[in-house]
Copies of this chain bind each other. A is one copy, B any other.
Amino acid sequence: MYSTRMSLHTTIMVSLGDRSYPIVVGNGLLNGAFDLSTFVVGDDCLIVSNVTVAPLYQDGVLANLVGKTVSTIELPDGEAYKSIGTMQTILDRLVETGANRDTTVIALGGGVVGDIAGFAAACYMRGVSFIQVPTTLLAQVDSSVGGKTGVNHPGGKNLVGAFHQPQVVMIDTDTLTTLPDRELQAGLAEVIKYGAICDLDFLGWLENNMPALLDKEPQALAYAIQRSCELKAEVVAEDEREAGRRAILNFGHTFGHAIEHCCGYGEWLHGEAVAAGMIMAAELSDIAETDVARLRALITAAGLPTRPPAIAADDWMRAMGMDKKVQKKTLRFVLMRALGDAQVTESYDAERLQQIIGVND
């Protein structure tokens, strides 16, 4: 006998033709409440998690996979392990369990777990099915949606990877109750980003609800996640492989990735680096100083840094030169035309850039 549990959830579709999939956002989805097995094509799954998350939620996911044969692997925890080497341990585990093309890889954890597990799923036998169960705010609002997978290279973040869309993304907001405050705040950086690049109303909502979000008020979190996923799904549906508009999702990331690269991955959390990077990008944008101040205030209210660490100007330029948006040797930035409206551009004030990266030199 098992109890019937009720769960409330909303579903957002990512429209990508035959690669379309639902994002399910709600609370109480684990422990048998939401049937994941309908998204598993064959009989076998491999749950990829890490040593921190697996003890908390792996049993909860297992209960959503009734009738399936489930293997597991626990990775070490941390951005430092987002490497080809770690991906190989997943591939080894798949081989060891005799996984075939109809095996489904399930990522349970934050962005690092999702990115590595997704890349392993993309490469194993040239692609097997994949499900995302993100447990950090950052993964829920950003990395689990859109099909970008990959690992870091000593030469740059996410330099190696694949586009590989999941079958479903299941977001249980209850998992945020165990998330450290610092990680919640880092996730809020990406939430703020959506407002800054394409939804001024949402930015206003965030200004009003930041205290509730920091208090992990369930309804506030659910709305912030849902709206973030809606906005991301819209952009991704327009431009799956980032030929154009999708790059606006990288607002703050050219600077942010350079911060992470220069400080060693993991020293600054991704969201923290993006937060400081967004202010730098706003300063490079041709917008009113009052709008930059408004963004700075919101980022500060979220408990996030607004200034980068000390990095030499040369190191900035070298690290940003590795950015995937570089075309024909020209740096491109995501800049705001106005608060709530960003675009990718090669046209920026080079002198202003030198000032911005030189401030902390």
Can you list 11 A-B contacts (CB < 8 A)?
A84-B88, A96-B155, A98-B322, A102-B327, A123-B150, A124-B160, A125-B324, A126-B148, A126-B150, A126-B158, A127-B241
The answer to whether B160 and A327 touch across the interface, beta carbons within 8 angstroms, is no
Interface residue total, chain A, C-beta cutoff 8 A: 39
For A91-103 the 0/1 string (1 means CB < 8 A from B) is 1100110101110
Measured between C-beta atoms, what is the minimum distance from A231 to chain B in Å? 21
Question: Is A310 part of the binding interface, using a Cβ–Cβ cutoff of 8 Å?
Answer: no
Question: How close is A1's CB to chain B, nearest CB, in angstroms?
Answer: 30
Bound state CA distance, A237 and B289, in angstroms?
55
* A100 shortest CB reach to chain B, Å: 5
Given contacts A91-B153, A321-B98, contact A160 B328 (CB under 8 A): no
Is A223's CB within 8 Å of the partner chain B? no
B159–A101 CB distance below 8 A: no
Chain B contacts for A325, CB-based, 8 A: 101
Please tell me if the beta carbons of A326 and B88 are within 8 angstroms of each other in the complex.
no
Chain A 105-143 per-residue mask, 1 if CB under 8 angstroms from chain B, else 0: 000000000000000001111110000000000000000
Q: In the complex, what's the smallest C-beta–C-beta distance from A343 to chain B, in angstroms?
A: 18
Interface residues in A312-353 by Cβ distance below 8 A to B read 321-322, 324-329
Q: Is B95 touching A153 in the complex (CB atoms < 8 A)?
A: yes
User: Is residue A42 within 8 Å, beta carbon to beta carbon, of the partner chain?
Assistant: yes
Q: Is A29 an interface residue (CB 8 A)?
A: no
In the complex, are the beta carbons of A162 and B123 less than 8 A apart?
yes
Assess whether B125 is in contact with A163, with CB atoms less than 8 Å apart: no
Residue pair A328, B123 in contact (C-beta under 8 Å):
no
The residue on B at minimum CB distance from A95 is B155
Closest beta carbon of chain B to A325's beta carbon, Å: 8
- Within 8 Å CB of A122, what residues of B? 162
CB distance from A160 to the nearest CB of B (A): 5
Taken together as a complex, chains A and B put the C-alpha atoms of A100 and B322 apart, in Å, by 7
> Which positions 196-226 of chain A face chain B at CB distance < 8 Å?
none
The 9 closest A-B pairs by CB, nearest first: A95-B155, A100-B326, A126-B161, A125-B324, A123-B160, A102-B327, A126-B163, A126-B162, A101-B324
Contact, CB under 8 Å: A327 / B162 = no
Question: How far does the Cβ of A247 sit from chain B's closest Cβ, in whole Å?
Answer: 11
Q: Are B43 and A328 in contact (CB under 8 A)?
A: yes
